[in-house]
Amino acid sequence: MSLLVVGLSHRSAPVSVLERASLAADTQAKLLQDTLAAEPATEAAVLATCNRIELYADVDKFHAGVAELSTLLAQHSGVGLEELTPYLYVHYEDRAVHHLFSVACGLDSMVVGEGQILGQIKDALARGQELHTAGRLLNDLFQQALRVGKRAHSETGIDRAGQSLVTFGLQQLAAGADPALWAGGKRALVIGAGSMSSLAAATLARTGVAEIVVANRTRSRADRLVEILQQGDDTAVHARAVEMSAVGDELTRADIVVSCTGSTGLVLTADALADALGVTLDAAPEAPAVTAVAPAPGDVDQHAAWVENGSAASAAHAGPVAAPPRATVPAQSTGPVRLALLDLAMPRDIDGAAHRIAGVRLVDIESLAEASADAPMAADVDRVRTIVSDEVAAFGAAQRAAHVAPTVVALRTMAADVVAGEIARLDGRLPDLDEKQRAEITQTVRRVVDKLLHAPTVRVKQLASEPGGAGYADALRELFDLDPQTVAAVSRADLNDPNRGRS
């Protein structure tokens, strides 16, 4: 079996496609179950965030797996396969491991070095474990990805290579000014009380806003976030919670709005924003459009055509990947900013037509992606890439060694059975042996067998951990005529170990 990942992200697809392809929690569960029911896959996990949707699976056939996973993604996302295919990337075996480890370290994030992806990877693993779709391979893979990500953040300055999406968004809203000076004394409205909204509220509090109003569909969660904000030792912000129905009124008093909810529709329409500012949307000047070019797959490392073990032949087999279309983005209205909007949701919470309202500045996921494309890369990024490469090699060696382990266990079990059989036959031939003599003979035979098996079993584990070493387990089974069902039983026992894959 081999690891395969099929997905799309902000690097391969425009925001409009990512919005349409976003997966709700219940849809993710159905996708995992359907993936496991598909013939090529025996394990599955889905990593779905604002900026990426990736389906991981343990498959026995590469091309059939690519076709099946791509079709399943299209079916569950609601985006047709023909439309979705140009934006998909595929990684296989070591390249798939390399991709996930890079994602865990923040190298593949919209803002390089952000650490929130670790929580999302942890959630993806927990979902797979809860639904019993993540087996030995994906448990090991995602657990190791979490460790690699934590190592990157603790051993390097990758955090300095970029800021959190919230901080970066506030910098864009400040338009070159010091965010603390720009935001100081302002009133902020935070819509949503999830992890991203909570981070936004905490960041705003540290930045120096005078007041934060939290609106959420579940009032108790908004109240809890306000309580946390007021308990902070490093801020003196005034915070209060309101019902979602009060958002319209709060807009008239807010200077900054940050929205990140799980809504599938718009939370703030252009009309509502225009009403809050006391302007008529239809009368607002139409700003000229500027054209932004989404990065072509060939421009981003590891986002090329479908790849099998990194071979050009496989990429050619999969066919060329079309470049994403050019996206037309309305320019910001000119004049003084009366209301600054930061939309961190996917699908978006705030109507893109807000660009046309005089006095409004809108920063959303799409504009953040464009702004971060030219962000300077810190030297620490190279150190993290080295960590990722080393960890990929170590993970591959460990997996290959683990692949031969059941065969070694089966061999030693067979040897123990042979010893037991011969000792039993000796008892029949020499019934007068006392217990001490029988024990000494038994121990001697066992030592002989152990010494004979020690060197080849240790060596086969070493050889199996090297690239191309997967065939050694097959050779061992063939040479010692091991029962395949016995080896499979050892593998199943290892897979069902309740302590495996948990930290």
Look at residues 5, 123, 46, 93 and name the one whose alpha carbon lies nearest to residue 392: 93
Contact 22, 350 (CB under 8 A): no
Q: Which two structure tokens, joined as six digits, stand for 328?
A: 């037309």
**41-48/187-191 β-pairing:** unpaired
Catalytic status, residue 50: yes
Write down the catalytic residue from 5, 8, 41, 50. Answer: 50
Q: What 8-state DSSP symbol labels residue 308?
A: B
* Residue 39 burial class via C-beta count within 10 angstroms: exposed 0-12, middle 13-18, buried 19 and up: exposed
Report residue 8 CA to chain centroid gap. Answer: 11
Distance CA(262)–CA(347), nearest Å, equals 8
40: Cβ contacts below 8 Å, ≥ 6 apart: 57, 59, 60, 61, 64, 65, 68
Distance CA(368)–CA(346), nearest Å, equals 13
Q: Which two structure tokens, joined as six digits, stand for 356?
A: 């046309």
Look at residues 104, 70, 62, 65 and name the one whose alpha carbon lies nearest to residue 87: 70
3-class SS shares of the chain: helix, strand, coil, % to 5: 55, 15, 30
Q: What 8-state DSSP symbol labels residue 12?
A: T
Give the burial string for 128-157 (b: 16+ CB within 10 Å, else e): bbebebbbbbbbbbbbbbbebbebbbeebe
Look at residues 391, 303, 333, 277 and name the one whose alpha carbon lies nearest to residue 108: 303
Q: Which two structure tokens, joined as six digits, stand for 437?
A: 């003599």
CA angle 244, 245, 249 (to 5 degrees): 105
Look at residues 346, 382, 348, 379 and name the one whose alpha carbon lies nearest to residue 362: 348
Contact 346, 50 (CB under 8 A): yes
Catalytic residue set: 50
